[in-house]
Amino acid sequence: MTETAAAPVVRIQGVDKVFTSGTATTTALKGIDLEIRRGEFISLIGPSGCGKSTLLRVIGDLVAPTAGTVEVNGKPAVRARLDRDYGMVFQAPVLFDWRSVEDNVKLPLELMGYDSARRSARAKEMLDLVELSDFVKHHPYQLSGGMQQRVAIARALAFEPSILLMDEPFGALDEMTRERMNQEVLRIWEQTGITVVFVTHSIPEAVFLSSRVVVMSARPGRITDVIEIELPRPRGVETREERRYFELVTAVREALRRGDADGADGGAAGATSGTGASDGTDGGPSQAALDRARAEGGIG
Amino acid sequence: MSGTLAVEGGQPTAAQRLPVRWIRRVAFYLPAIVVFVVTIAAWEILVNNIKIRGFPLPAPSQIIDALGENWGAGRWPLQTSATATLIEAFGGLAIGTTAGVIVALLTARFVTARELLLPLAIGASAVPIIAFAPLMNNWFGVLNPLSKMMIVAVLVFFPVLVNVTRGLTQVEPAALELMRSYAASDWAVLRLVRIPNALPYFFTALKVGTTLSLIGAIVGEYFGGTSSVLGQVIVASAGALRFDVTWAAIILAAATGIAMYLAIVVVERLVIPWHASMRGGGT
């Protein structure tokens, strides 16, 4: 595997994941193929139970696939995890109350054998990056939810992983904080050039952040569409007011609805639309834009 | 185009909060203090004015006198007895806690050990272990303090084992995923996640253990022991109808228990100031 710029960071081929508990089996993922290029911002979106979080965990080698292969940086996912290629951010910040903000950020560095001077330097750098330099000595419980999540991001980036895996990181935050955090994540992504895989169930969030949105559907979990988000960068508050933004939001929503309908055809009775997006930003639907987005989508 | 963020939070300084905290604290304990003082006063007045025939209840003042008279030496040496009982209780607590923690670490590490031992431990903690006291006196010698320590150790062992195992194993699943993503060793997970997570559980068990340790020591002494231990002073003085001495010994036992408990609370505050139950102020 050559490490050229064109080589994908993540290459997923024919991945299935079947969970077995007792006699019951659940097909969480079915026939997943996906390539993620270096420096991309990829969102995985879909209704609950579509396997988007499972797919993220398969990429990060937290869950082993039942079939298929996952290559990361040209090596198996297990190797990539042992090489510490992944930074993880979960929906809950998972900060340790017994450690200060600074010591939480230092935790992976301690594990990875950084010396004390480098630990301090990296922690300071990362807390500057997420704009929490004034809260270094605080304990997690003294911070708001948004601030805690920023500490989690600082911790995930501290050891310079090549991929940042984020599992609904802002799902527990209010809408205003979430939009601010979106802006923060974009800034950090642009500053570091890291590849991001981002699981969300918010359509506006996915469109605003991503270079590509991977649309998934449940029963069984599969990729039904990949939508290229060609909105210009840097993106800011104005982006959310652009016509093209609304068109893409609509395109993603339509893709989700289509995927859901396919799932219902496939025999899942009473499949309800469970995208859970409370965006309230209904742009004028444009069939032309929709078709264009779909044409660019690739896998469909 | 970096979004500048408003600084959230901000707290009053410690100096501003201190008087408010003290007023709150006094206000919180005041009703309890009043009830306590009134009860003691009522007891004193009732015993002194209404002679309840055949009901041997000494007045608080008589108990205090008995405490003073028998403090140093004599037939009922209260101070040496209390010290001896405290040593038994503390020694047993130390043995039982150490054993409980070691077995908890093993059960947390080895799933088979957990499946084998934990149901047994939970079952055993429902058994009135104190019933084994006469046996222990036989095994380790009735006059040997070790016999009481072993009773205490067995009593303390089970709550420590069950609680600490719980603390070591009931870790947020995402925390374990996080550590896995760092390719952290089992030892690192134990040291950095499981043990700190178990500390609040450990202190809960220790607080239960202090109470159990004095019960164990004194009840063990009821079944025999040297003449200068609290249990024997209680049994002998009650037999001699010196109820003032009996009460004095009981109060000394209570005071010892409270002192041990408070000592644990102080250590807990120092060790886990980050835990939710330790954070002052607020609600």
Locate A88 and state its tokens.
């993880």
Residue of B nearest to A113 (CA): B184
Rg (Cα) of chain A, in Å, rounded? 19
| Residues A33, A197: Cα–Cα separation, whole Å | 15
CB-closest option in A82, A134, A135 to B183:
A82
Residue A154 near residue A105, CB atoms below 8 Å: yes
Bridge partners (DSSP) listed for residue A34: A12
Phi/psi for A216 (5° steps) reads -120, 160
Which of B11, B172, B178, B185 should we substitute to test contact with A (largest number of A Cβ atoms within 10 Å)?
B178
List, for residues A70-111, the tens digit of each pLDDT value.
999 999 999 999 999 999 999 999 999 999 999 999 999 999
Inter-chain residue contact B1 with A111, CB threshold 8 Å: no
Q: Comparing B265 with B54, which gets the higher pLDDT?
A: B265
Closest CA to A89 of A177, A187, A200, A191: A200
* B4 contacts in chain A (CB < 8 Å): 131
The predicted structure's pLDDT at residue B115: 81
Interface ipTM > 0.85 = no
Q: Does A98 touch chain B (CB under 8 A)?
A: yes
The edge-to-edge listing of strands for the beta sheet with A24-36 is A24-36, A10-21, A67-72, A75-76
Nearest to A144 among B4, B8, B188 (CB): B8
Q: How confident is the model at residue B17 (pLDDT cuts 50, 70, 90)?
A: low
Is pLDDT above 70 for B1?
no
Coil, helix or strand for A172? coil
Measure the CA–CA gap between B112 and B127, rounded to whole angstroms.
24
* B195 pLDDT more than 60: yes
Query: Could you say which of B172, B188, B196 has the minimum Cβ distance to residue A111?
Result: B188
Q: Which helix (H) or strand (E) segment is A164 a member of?
A: strand A163-167
pLDDT at site B127: 81
Nearest alpha carbon to residue B180 among A98, A109, A171, A63? A63
Is residue B6 pLDDT above 90, yes or no?
Answer: no
Cβ–Cβ below 8 Å for B193 and A96: yes
Model pLDDT, residue A256: 93
Question: Minimal Cα–Cα distance from A207 to chain B, Å?
Answer: 18
pLDDT for B282 equals 39
Average pLDDT, chain B: 87
Q: Is A232 on the interface with B (CB under 8 A)?
A: no
Of B201, B204, B213, B203, nearest in space to B93 by CA: B213
- Chain B nearest-CA residue for A143: B9
Q: pLDDT band at residue B73, thresholds of 50, 70 and 90?
A: confident
DSSP A173: S
Close Cβ partners of B109 (under 8 Å, ≥ 6 residues apart): B186, B190
Angle between helices B133-140 and B145-169 (to 10 degrees): 120
Distance from the A130 Cα atom to the nearest Cα atom in chain B, whole angstroms: 10
Closest-approach residue (CA) in chain B for A236:
B1
Q: Pick from B8, B177, B276: which is nearest to A62 by CB? A: B177
Query: Higher confidence at residue A149 or residue B17?
Result: A149
Q: Cβ A84–B182 below 8 Å, yes or no?
A: yes
**Which residues does chain A have with pLDDT short of 50?**
1-3, 265-290, 292-300
Provide mean pLDDT across the span B245-264.
Answer: 94
* Residue found by looking up tokens 């954070």 in the block: B279
SS3 B9: coil
Inter-chain residue contact B181 with A60, CB threshold 8 Å: yes
Cβ within 8 Å, pair B8-A96: no
Residue A140 distance to chain B (closest CA, Å): 9
Question: In 3D, which of A52, A192, A225, A36 has the Cα closest to residue A122?
Answer: A192
Query: CA gyration radius for chain B?
Result: 24
Q: Is the predicted pLDDT of residue B36 greater than 50, yes or no?
A: yes
A-chain residues near B7 (CB < 8 A): 134
Are the Cβ atoms of A94 and B175 closer than 8 angstroms? Answer: yes
The contact set of B with A (CB < 8 A) is 1-5, 7-9, 11, 172, 174-175, 177-178, 180-184, 188, 192-193, 196, 199, 272, 274-276, 279
Percentage above 70 pLDDT, chain B: 90
Q: How many whole angstroms from its chain centre is CA B197?
A: 21
Would the pLDDT of B224 be above 90?
no
- Residue whose C-alpha is closest to residue A200's, from A78, A99, A56: A56
pLDDT for the residue numbered B52: 65
Angle made by CA atoms A243, A246, A248, in degrees to the nearest 5: 110
Q: Of A39, A17, A36, nearest to A28 (Cα)?
A: A17
- Residues in A touching B182 (Cβ below 8 Å): 84, 108, 111-112
A134 touches B at CB < 8 Å = yes
- Whether this model's pTM surpasses 0.90: no
Q: Tell me, what's the pLDDT at B55?
A: 65
Taking an 8 Å cut-off on Cβ atoms, the answer to whether A82 and B275 are in contact is no
Q: How far is CA A29 from CA A17, A88, A224, in A?
A: 5, 21, 12
- Residue A3 at interface with chain B, using a CB cutoff of 8 Å: no
Return the axis-axis angle of helices B195-222 and B145-169, rounded to nearest 10°: 150
Mutation target vs B (from A63, A96, A104, A112; most B CBs, 10 A cutoff)? A96
> How many residues appear in chain B?
283
Nearest to A134 among B2, B7, B11 (CB): B7
